[in-house]
Amino acid sequence: MINVNVRQKTLSVIASALLISACASSNNSKGVSVDSLLPRISASPEVLAEMSAQERSHLQLIATNLVATLVQIPEMRPESATLQISAPVTSFGHAIVRAMEDAGFGLQLVSADQGRRYVSYSKRLSETESGLVTDYMLAVGKVSLSREYIVENDAVFPSSLMKISGTDSIADIDLSDNIFAEQGGNNTAFISGAQSTGVANPNLRVETVDVFDFDELPQDKRTRQELVFAQAKQRFFESDAQRSAPDLSRYRKHRRTVLIFDNNSTQMMGAANKQAVRLLVREFSDDDVMVIKACQDADGSDQPSMNRAIRVEEELVGYGIPTESAYIAPCARTSYRHASDDSPTPVELIHYTPK
C-alpha cells in the first residue's frame, strides 16, 4: 500500500518539475541564449547577459538579415573575403561578428580601423510619427548596408527598405525577410526590398509582407541562422549560373578532372576531391574558364546536382578563381539516376584556356 502523504509529495514534486520544464520551454520559445550570439574570436558574455532572451533574439534576426544580404554581393563572397574587425564591445557588435563567423567569413582581429575590408557598424534610435525606430548599419570597406527596424508586440520587423551602397550588384539580392514572419504578428505588415542609396531602380522588387498570428513558430522550429546563410549563398550561385554561357569555341580543353561524391545527396567533398581541385587551379590564368558539369538527371532539373555544383564553385572561389570565370553547365542527359539511387556521384570539372 502506498502511503497517502508520500504519494501526495511525489505528485507535488512531479507537478513542480513539469511547471519548471514548461517555464523553461516558454522562455526558450521567446528568445535565444547568450551562447547563440557569442563570437568565437573575441567576446564579452556580460554584455549579452544584461539583455533579455527576447532582445537577443531581435538582435540575432537583424544581424542575420544584414549579413545574409552581404554574402550575396559578389565582392563580399565569404570564400574569398577576409575581413578586419575590432573586438566587439556592444551587444549589436557581438551579434554581427557571430553572424559573420557563421556565414563563413575569415575574420582578422585588429586594434583599430585597419585593413581594406574593415568592418564597422552602428545603431541609432529615432523617434518618429510611427513610434521608436532603430536604424542599424553594417559596412565592410566601401560596401554599406542600412535598414530601419521597429519592435511591435514583442517582435521586431523591418520598417524600411534595405539601403545598399558601394556596389552595383543588388538586382538579384533576396533579403531573407521570411525570418521575421516566423515571429507571428497581429495583422502586422512590413516592407521588403532593397534600394541603391540615392538611385532609383525600377527593376528592383518591392513588396509588402503581411504577418498573422498563425505564422508564429516556436523558437526551436524557426529557420536557423546558418541555414539562412546557406540559402543566401545558394541563391548567389544559382543567379550566377543563369548568366550567358561562355563561347567554348574560343577555348581549348586544357585539363579535366572528375570529382567523386560519396552519394547523390552529400555536399561533402572530402580530402581527395579538394586535392584534385587544388592541383587543377595551379595552372589557371586570368583569361581561362572552369566549367562544372554536375547534373546528369533525365528530366533536366536536379537540385542535389545543383547543390554539388555550387559546392565545387565555392571551392574554386576559395582558391581565388573569380565567380565570372567558373560556369555551371546545364543538365546533360548522359544517364538516368532514380531518386532512390545512392551510388557514388561524379562531378566533371574542365579547365579551358583561350585558343
> Which residue segments constitute the domains of the chain, with CATH numbers given?
33-239 (no CATH), 247-354 (3.30.1330.60)
* Cα 62 to Cα 90: distance, rounded to the nearest angstrom: 14
What tens digit of pLDDT does each residue of 223-262 get?
988 889 888 887 777 666 666 678 888 999 999 999 988 8
Residue 95 has pLDDT above 80, yes or no: yes
**Residue 287 half-sphere exposure toward CB, CA atoms < 13 A:** 6
What tens digit of pLDDT does each residue of 159-196 get?
999 999 988 777 678 888 999 999 998 888 998 988 88
Residue 149 has pLDDT above 90, yes or no: yes
Neighbour tally for 307: CB within 10 Å: 17
Which three cell numbers, joined as nine digits, stand for 279? 592541383
Residue 198 has pLDDT above 70, yes or no: no
Partner residues linked to 351 by β-bridges: 255, 290
Top pLDDT among 175 and 58 is at 58
Residue 140 has pLDDT above 80, yes or no: yes
DSSP strand pairing (131-140 vs 143-152): antiparallel
Which three cell numbers, joined as nine digits, stand for 123? 545603431
Please say whether the dihedral angle defined by the alpha carbons of residues 227, 228, 233 and 237, taken in this order, is positive or negative. positive
pLDDT classification of 20: cutoffs 50, 70, 90: very low
pLDDT classification of 296: cutoffs 50, 70, 90: low
* pLDDT at residue 202 in the model: 57
Average pLDDT of the segment spanning 107-124: 89
196: closest CA among 175, 167, 173? 167
Collapsed DSSP state (helix, strand, coil) of residue 52? coil
pLDDT more than 70, % of the chain: 82
Query: What value, to the nearest 5°, has the Cα angle with vertex 144 and ends 139 and 147?
Result: 100
146: closest CA among 168, 127, 131, 124? 124
Partner residues linked to 217 by β-bridges: none
User: What string of DSSP letters covers 156-202?
Assistant: EEE-SPEEEES-S--TT----THHHHTT--SSEEEEE-EEETTB--T
Distance of alpha carbon 29 from the chain centroid? 22
